Structures are given as structure tokens and as C-alpha cells.
Structure 1
Amino acid sequence: MNYRVQPTAQVDGSAVIGAGSSVWELAQIREGASLGEGCVIGRGAYVGAGVRIGDNVKIQNYALVYEPAELGDGVFVGPAVVLTNDHNPRSVDTEGRRKRGGDWEAVGVRIAEGASLGARAVCVAPVRIGRWAMVAAGAVVTKDVADFALVVGVPARRTGWVGRAGVRLVEREGEPGVWVCPRSGTAYVEEDGVLSER
């Protein structure tokens, strides 16, 4: 075994844990879940059945990642984040009988490479969070988030752009649509509401 699981964590025998990953106290990894290499699953976090997680992903304490979520490489999920999976949640059916697994269809949240979700953010499935996007703490995401977008609020809306470094980009003076990272100097180009690396 080339990964670490704390004694109070629950990891189903059918889950796959990548090399160098750590699963901390009271975390639960359900059946068929797959974690890549170098992942960190924080205290009390929940990873649902069949969830797919890439390499070097951090899921902080008490985050809830419900199936069928998919997380790309390098994703950051902050403390107490919730990725929902039921677009029309009900405990009972129209006759008042308790719903069971076959009574509803799970829909997932997909988070692309390098994206970050701040503490207590909620993603209401089905949504996609784009590459290197940043969701602010406490935001409620109800629509897809573009690559490199910075979204805040309830419901979440784009207020700017961020680069790979996670720093808000600044529009280059005299060059509308050209955005620069103040930390790395990397330039990005915006066309029709889509940001791409130069």
C-alpha cells in the first residue's frame, strides 16, 4: 500500500486510491470511487460511489462530493463545499412513499483541471466548472462556469478572470481584451466572453 488512510476513515474495498494519496480522519470513500495520485481527502470529507478524481486533488475538511461527480487534475475543493447530485430533490415520491435509489436519476458536477472552489461554496448539479476557474467562498453555482472565470455571489456570477496562479487578471492598458496576470506576467485573450491563454 503506497497511500495513507487514517484508522477512523472508511474506504470501501472497491475504491481505488492512487499512490501518495492521504485520506484523513472520519473521511468516507464509497464503493467504486477512484482517486488519482497525490490526492488529499480531509477530515470528515465524503466522496460518493463511483466519483472520479484526478491527480493532485485536494478535498478539504467536511466537503461533500456526491456521485456522479468528476474532478480533473489539480482541483481544489475548499472546506464544507457541497457538490449536489439531484436536480429535483424530494425525499418521497408523488404518492408519499420514501424514494429509493431507482426512483431518481443522479446528475453530477464536473470540475475541470486546476479549478478551485472556496469554502462553503455549493454547486447545484448539473454544472461544469471550467479549467482554472475560481468559485468564491460561499458562492452558489447554478450555471456552467467558463475557463479562467472568477465567480462570486448567490447565484454565482462572473466578476472577473483569474490565471493559473489564481490571481485576478488585469486588463492591459490600451489593449482591450488582453488580460495579464500580475504575478506571473502571463497574458490571456478574451474573445466573445471566452478567455484563452496566449
Structure 2
Amino acid sequence: MTSNVFVHPTANVSPQAHIGTGTKVWINVQIREEAHIGAGCILSKDVYVDHSVKIGDRCKIQNSVSVYHGVEIGNDVFVGPNVVFTNDRVPRAFNADWKITSTRIAHGASLGANCTIVCGVTVGEYAMVAAGSVVTRDVPPYTLVMGNPARAVAKVDKAGNRLPAGEPQ
């Protein structure tokens, strides 16, 4: 672990985890071995980071999010409370052929509260996923998606503002 990292006394951080300078790890967070968390991140109450997960710099992961093995989060990503990531397309309690399906959240993306990101998708740069949405396929960069299943409804700029139809980012 790097210097200048705040770890709340109730957090459980593996000595084999890599945590960047200035990151804050709050109440009841668990970070597993070989997880890589960038600099300047905030991991809020009850966050779980599975082994070998990669989280970029300046990410904010809010309460009660589990980031499972196979998920990679880029820099400057916002993950709202209770976001759900999956990592298995055919979940079974016991499966000898179990395989992780990777998921990628690109630089600057924003995931709204209670959305579900089904494994195997990429959420593009600066894309926004509306609260409660279920993402079942790739989200293009600078796109706002919403619904179940999530569908594109608008283009957005880097700040998340909707753009008029046809306007470049």
C-alpha cells in the first residue's frame, strides 16, 4: 500500500492489494489480493473489490457496490450506490467449466444508482448509464442510455450534459 492512503479501521485490505496515493477507503470496505486501485479514489461504505480487479485514478465508487473479478474500471469513473456488476453469463452454484467474462468501464463514464452491468460489455468513454438501467450490450462513447434493457436516448458531452441531436461532442 502506498503512503497517504486513508483506510478506515473497519476496512479489510489485503496486504497484496495495490492502492494509489490519496485514496480513501471507508467503513466496511473489503479489498482483495492483487486488486489495483489508482490514486485519488474514494471507496465508500460497504464496497467490495474482488481479487485482481483494476480501478483507475480519481474514481468514486459509492456505497454497497461489489466490483467482481473480471471488471476493469478506467480513470475518472463514477459508480453510483448499489451498482451491480456480473461476471458470469451462466451462473451456477457449482460449475467445473466456470469462466470469467470481462467487463470494461472506460475513462470518464458514469454509472447511475442501482444500474446493472451485465458481464461482457464495454461502457464507452464519458458514457452515462441512467439510474436503474440494465446494460446488456456495449454503450458507445458519449452516449446516455436508460431503461431495461438499456437503450441509447441521447449524446452527452464530457460533463454529462445532453447534446442537441446532430451536435458533435
Q: Decide: shared fold, TM above 0.5.
A: yes
Quick one: distance in 2 between partners of 1:65 and 1:91? 19
Describe the superposition over 1:141-191 as per-residue Cα deviations: whole angstroms up to 9, x where unpaired.
Answer: 0000000010000000001111101111113xxxxx3x1xxxxxxxx1xxx
* 2: CA distance, partners of 1:22 / 1:105: 32
Unaligned runs of 5+ in 1: 94-98, 172-176, 180-187, 189-196
- Give, as a single letter, the amino acid of the residue that structure 1 aligns with 2:8: Q
Consecutive unaligned residues of structure 2, counting only runs of 5 or more, are none
Given candidates 110, 114, 117, the residue that maps to 1:116 is: 110
1:46 aligns with 2:40: no
Q: RMSD between aligned alpha carbons?
A: 1.0
Matched-pair contact (CA < 8 Å) for 1:10–1:28: yes
**How many Å separate the matches in 1 of 2:114 and 2:43?**
16
Task: Kindly indicate whether the alpha-carbon contact (under 8 Å) linking 1:66 and 1:108 is maintained by their aligned counterparts in 2.
Answer: no
Q: Show the 5 A alignment for 1:56-135.
A: 56-93=58-95, 103-135=97-129
How many angstroms apart in 2 are the aligned matches of 1:30 and 1:105?
19
Structure 2 residue matching 1:170: 3-state secondary structure: coil
Among all aligned residue pairs of Structure 1 and Structure 2, give the percentage whose two residues are the same amino acid: 50
CA displacement at 1:83 relative to structure 2: 1.1
What is the letter of the counterpart of residue 108 of structure 2? G
Structure 1 residue identity aligned to 2:62: Q
Q: For the residues of structure 1 that align with 2:131 and 2:103, how far apart are their CA atoms? A: 17
Higher relative contact order (CA 8 A, sep 6+): 2
CA distance in structure 2 between the aligned counterparts of 1:7 and 1:127, rounded to whole angstroms: 35
Which structure 1 residue ranges, 4+ long, deviate > 2 Å from structure 2?
none
Report how many aligned residue pairs link the two structures: 167
